[in-house]
Structure 1
């Protein structure tokens, strides 16, 4: 793994570790919780059905009911209301989102005082005293109305009991799971410290009850997103109001907790609450998410006073309905904050939950929710680490925003199609935070390195190479190293005489124009400018970035440099400047490359025998009448379909070993057939020459010179043959010609 990839991976893992502290709840961040809640609320709002459920109706103690009958209502009125609901309107189930925590005995107490004082000596009153007492015993009347009917009474649990306050008041119904059975489960039930129950005689009238408090909303931000279906008090487990109503509506089937796998009964493996054939998804605290149907008052509301007096405008609403009785009157303070409205009638929260359970619309947040979030974060961290280490910043940004789009699409798809709650807000924030971390690192750290690379190499290598170098700084070393490379030297022929004909200003303009064009050619072929030496150019291929095709790129550059000089002819003539001719030498081999110089000045350059040879070969171009000469190593590194004219076997100044030198001709297919025939005859003539068959060699070179395609090298060899006839080189001659000048 490269250094750059390792750094990028470290950044990703560092951000991942920070978010893992939140995901694992080791150091939760409220801001992230707010964002996640916001995205949950957004999903709720985007998918509201917006229609009432005809199976569920709310009997409302509204402002009109309070104005007509006052408050509180006596239990005999409530008894009459219950009778009306079951006898007149034929409701299916009735649930009270109200707790009857105190006895309604004021009228009875008053009667007892009157009987003992004012009416004690009135025989007619004494005779009817018991009958009157029974009529004024409103709790008994209410209990009678509840008895034998599918009625669920509400109560509330106290999460905490203030000092000096009684922990438990009133009575509860039998638990859903008794304490002994509850020991079989290792579930994180919410465990309150007390409760506020109903008057004992009222609770005794019906075996059904359910709590209507919501401790998870209090724990979070007070918004009713989820409601526990069970709480554990004093070892036993009790149902919520909604759960008891649904169970009663289904015929009171057994209720079970379901785990995956079934034999591991822990919160981590808790999947759902089963009510007969109905399965309700729950979280690790046995809480269900409320599947809201719409804004406040989406359900059908019937005023309690209309029920009491039998004046309901549309009695069909109540026929066979599941009825919840609660209040929307502001003065009774049963208003809640929900994802769909910050002022929402409390009883309608339970109505939504009852409706959702019966219609299988409860969304599931799996117990392994934190694991899903952690795995998502790790996958995103690795993806962005790879992207920022391998791709450009715009491409990495596209991947980052693509990941966000994928997260949103997946979350919405699972919400709508599978009723599954996937983390959304926190993964989006994680992706943005990770993206910003990588972006800031790239801007403040990597870009500084890129600017340094551009400063060091921008004038010497083509822009695309600078970009590659900046993208892969690990591949660049300023320290000296040995590499297989190709070096190029070019020089202007007759520059001294040219410079004598122009003043300094014109000469500078000419050279600037010439060097600009030649530099452009070199850089187009991925070359690095080493230096300008007056009219000469030194360039190399294979550094600072490795280049497996360094010889080919150098050959192509050299041939284009020669051609491009002619493109300047018309412009130079118009300016009164002379035409230029250049010679180019190319050498391939092992070279030392790196920052070299002194403590006063350093330069990125190449050194070595192959470099010196390239300089010598450029100087030989005048001798052989060619524009380009390359070494045998360069020829061998070129493609096999290239043609070369072998010029000679020479010993250049400073080297004892002979070197074969060549004129590159370009791809064989691009050559004229006659020229290809000349090259073959030239190779044969060289063999005769080196075999000291002077007459045959001279005849071949002479015929080549007379073929209509003359070449300076033919004349050169004819002159040498004439000399060697008279000065035989000896039997051990290797055919090489020794140059004593540079």
Structure 2
């Protein structure tokens, strides 16, 4: 929760695409570009999954350019169509025949109408003329000839609906498959028209089974679906493909398929499916909110598309197709001739034959392969947007750039995979574009905010602290830049003062460039040790370096790290002096003072120059302790507050002191080594020193002298023992002081 709160601005920015996506999905703010993108994705998926194989069950008899050239311009005389019907159903023994054309006007091409006028007028005085007309008029009534050829045959006629403003009608509609009462008062958003163009009475009555061949043209001018049922004046009529499929399976009844009554579907105002019922058998065909189905295109379309066999109508009329070749085939009569205007723009081709759309739908029905965009697609879209959007919004700000890219790619792959699986396994066409655009935009905004806003603050932070703080600490800080600032605050820290001994003497005997090189070499080594132990360089003051631990990055073990650094620095100076002796350069010494306590840390100074530093009484004490190192002959002097926190080291108590400006005595110590590295000889020396120091504070001078003598025998090089021996010699001259606390007072800095 702390991380999320820290990144709330970045999370809010990442949520912006989700908000717009939800507004679009919910219909509040429709973005046409997203709908167009969804159509493009659907079209691409459709083309990628088309079987592109031949369905041998369905054959298209094509009124093509060849047929128009050989037979004549359309419409043909219905006597020729009667010959075509008889050839297909009798000689070829096709299973059924569907017409993707309409016979909306009477056929007068035989001249029968004019002959009858002559018999009644100019030739009424010629009985032979009237007798001959009576003998041949039946064969010249092409509508009657055609009607006779299709009567009581497995034939489905075609017609069309219109949205003519005047509601014009023509011809005879077939019987509806459902009426208004079947919808149970629900406001179904079915495709509705105000007019129609149907077949003339004689033809319609001969073949009462008929279906409309209208398709649905989307906003981009592409045909992707056809309505299975359409409404006209409260009655519901079936499409050509549904009518042909029903005839194939025995003419089952048509009923609306409502979802089961549940809480979420109680007010559902659309159909879930079209039910084909026959006896105890029910077949459900899923439909969308327009009671339409998507066309399951098999291939590119046309005679060369490879999905269906195309036969020229002129070849059928000329009996150039061997008898029985079309036995049990489903025949669709339509046209691919451009002049007859039945070519459509589809996802798989810009000049796709309208007749083949019906062939594809029938093929899909036969295979049980029906694709539909369900009415709950909006709910699915909203749910997916919320889940993916919130996941990205709360995950991306917490991840590195590489992991954020991987997460976003994974999310996009999940969205695409889930969508494709639902499409291929269940025939569900669900929205994808909005979720994809939302995910990609959320990633882009998140990365942009991270680079232009957070990275800027990180760069500023690195710039501010880079000269003080080790690079590894800067790397930690930039992960959470809001938690660090230059603002002053009080913290418990450990401060170090390190002074080089003999610098003044060297400056008198060395060239400035030599002195500079020497000083830089020493400071570089000491600085590296401080930075390697997570210390912060405060400043360089001539031959002195000041550092502290515990800020700006909180470091609980700050005292132990400071002590470890002081030991390593003393060892580094010893190694450096060995190099100097070999090179003939002067040796140097160091004095280190360490103190732990509450200090004020932050950016301090004037408007001209500022620095990140520490101030306070604890800092002053650290400086005083550094000065005491020379008096006690040790490299490092550490306060008792630091010693108590650095428990991993062996210590030698040096004294109790009152430094200038402090009334309270402070115990001071010198670190010897980590506990595990302390040898037995040094351990014995420390025990002897503890006894001698106790005797000194008890003013037992004789006992103290004995212990100091033993200590000088154990370690003759240690100045501390000689210092105390001199003190004891001076203290003997003074009377016993019961008020003395054993502390040494220092009045100078």
Fold match, TM over 0.5? yes
Within the candidate set 284, 291, 294, 1:286 is matched to 291
Q: 1:314 to 1:469 in 2, by over 3 A?
A: farther
Counterpart of 2:75 in 1: which secondary structure? coil
Within the candidate set 698, 714, 724, 2:721 is matched to 714
1:177-201 CA distances to partner (integer Å, 9 max, x unpaired)?
2122235333322223333222233
Equivalent-residue separation in structure 2 for 1:553 and 1:269 (angstroms): 73
Equivalent-residue separation in structure 2 for 1:199 and 1:729 (angstroms): 140
What is the CA-CA distance between 1:48 and the residue it aligns to? Answer: 1.8
Counterpart of 1:440 in 2: which secondary structure? helix
Q: 1:28 to 1:697 in 2, by over 3 A?
A: same
What is the CA-CA distance between 1:681 and the residue it aligns to? Answer: 4.3
Counterpart residue number, 1:415: 423
Within the candidate set 501, 505, 508, 1:500 is matched to 508
Question: Structure 1: which 5+ residue stretches go unaligned?
Answer: none
Counterpart of 2:285 in 1: which secondary structure? strand
C-alpha contact (below 8 Å) 2:493/2:548 kept by paired residues: yes
Superposed CA RMSD in Å reads 2.8
C-alpha contact (below 8 Å) 2:187/2:269 kept by paired residues: no
Q: 1:68 to 1:740 in 2, by over 3 A?
A: same
Equivalent-residue separation in structure 2 for 1:368 and 1:728 (angstroms): 103
The number of equivalent residue pairs is: 735
What is the CA-CA distance between 1:46 and the residue it aligns to? Answer: 1.9
C-alpha contact (below 8 Å) 2:397/2:446 kept by paired residues: no
Counterpart residue number, 2:335: 327
Equivalent-residue separation in structure 2 for 1:545 and 1:741 (angstroms): 35
Deviates most, 268-277 or 459-468: 268-277
Equivalent-residue separation in structure 2 for 1:201 and 1:50 (angstroms): 40
Deviates most, 546-555 or 468-477: 546-555
The aligned runs of 1:270-285 (5 Å cut-off) are 270-276=271-277, 277-285=282-290
Give yes or no for the alignment of 1:83 onto 2:86. Answer: yes
1:69-113 CA distances to partner (integer Å, 9 max, x unpaired)?
112222222222223322232322322222222222343323323
Counterpart residue number, 1:516: 524
Question: Structure 2: which 5+ residue stretches go unaligned?
Answer: none
Q: 1:117 to 1:615 in 2, by over 3 A?
A: same
Q: 1:596 to 1:300 in 2, by over 3 A?
A: same
C-alpha contact (below 8 Å) 1:462/1:527 kept by paired residues: yes
Within the candidate set 655, 664, 686, 1:657 is matched to 664
C-alpha contact (below 8 Å) 2:15/2:442 kept by paired residues: no
Counterpart residue number, 2:36: 34
What is the CA-CA distance between 1:259 and the residue it aligns to? Answer: 4.1
Q: 1:258 to 1:448 in 2, by over 3 A?
A: same
Counterpart of 2:434 in 1: which secondary structure? helix
What is the CA-CA distance between 1:7 and the residue it aligns to? Answer: 0.6
C-alpha contact (below 8 Å) 1:8/1:386 kept by paired residues: no
Equivalent-residue separation in structure 2 for 1:212 and 1:360 (angstroms): 21
Q: 1:465 to 1:641 in 2, by over 3 A?
A: closer
Counterpart of 1:342 in 2: which secondary structure? strand
Give yes or no for the alignment of 1:24 onto 2:26. Answer: yes
Counterpart residue number, 2:45: 43
Counterpart of 1:484 in 2: which secondary structure? strand
Equivalent-residue separation in structure 1 for 2:485 and 2:597 (angstroms): 19
Within the candidate set 148, 152, 159, 2:156 is matched to 152
Equivalent-residue separation in structure 2 for 1:569 and 1:312 (angstroms): 111
Equivalent-residue separation in structure 1 for 2:59 and 2:723 (angstroms): 114
Counterpart residue number, 2:223: 224
TM-score after normalising by structure 2: 0.91
Counterpart residue number, 1:239: 238
C-alpha contact (below 8 Å) 1:483/1:591 kept by paired residues: yes
Give yes or no for the alignment of 1:140 onto 2:144. Answer: yes
1:451-501 CA distances to partner (integer Å, 9 max, x unpaired)?
322222121112233333233122013222112222222121122112222
The aligned runs of 1:382-393 (5 Å cut-off) are 382-393=390-401
Counterpart of 2:592 in 1: which secondary structure? strand
Counterpart of 2:346 in 1: which secondary structure? coil
Counterpart residue number, 2:58: 56
What is the CA-CA distance between 1:732 and the residue it aligns to? Answer: 4.0
Counterpart residue number, 1:736: 743
Q: 1:88 to 1:572 in 2, by over 3 A?
A: farther
Q: 1:649 to 1:166 in 2, by over 3 A?
A: same
What is the CA-CA distance between 1:675 and the residue it aligns to? Answer: 3.0
Give yes or no for the alignment of 1:113 onto 2:128. Answer: no
Give yes or no for the alignment of 1:311 onto 2:320. Answer: yes
What is the CA-CA distance between 1:700 and the residue it aligns to? Answer: 3.6
Equivalent-residue separation in structure 2 for 1:258 and 1:709 (angstroms): 107
What is the CA-CA distance between 1:691 and the residue it aligns to? Answer: 4.1
Deviates most, 187-196 or 262-271: 262-271
Deviates most, 206-215 or 557-566: 557-566
Q: 1:69 to 1:371 in 2, by over 3 A?
A: same
Q: 1:150 to 1:723 in 2, by over 3 A?
A: farther
Q: 1:591 to 1:337 in 2, by over 3 A?
A: same
Give yes or no for the alignment of 1:295 onto 2:300. Answer: yes
Counterpart residue number, 1:645: 652
Equivalent-residue separation in structure 2 for 1:403 and 1:552 (angstroms): 46
Q: 1:680 to 1:331 in 2, by over 3 A?
A: farther
Equivalent-residue separation in structure 1 for 2:269 and 2:703 (angstroms): 98
Counterpart of 1:343 in 2: which secondary structure? strand
1:296-343 CA distances to partner (integer Å, 9 max, x unpaired)?
232122222233344324844x32222222112222222222222222
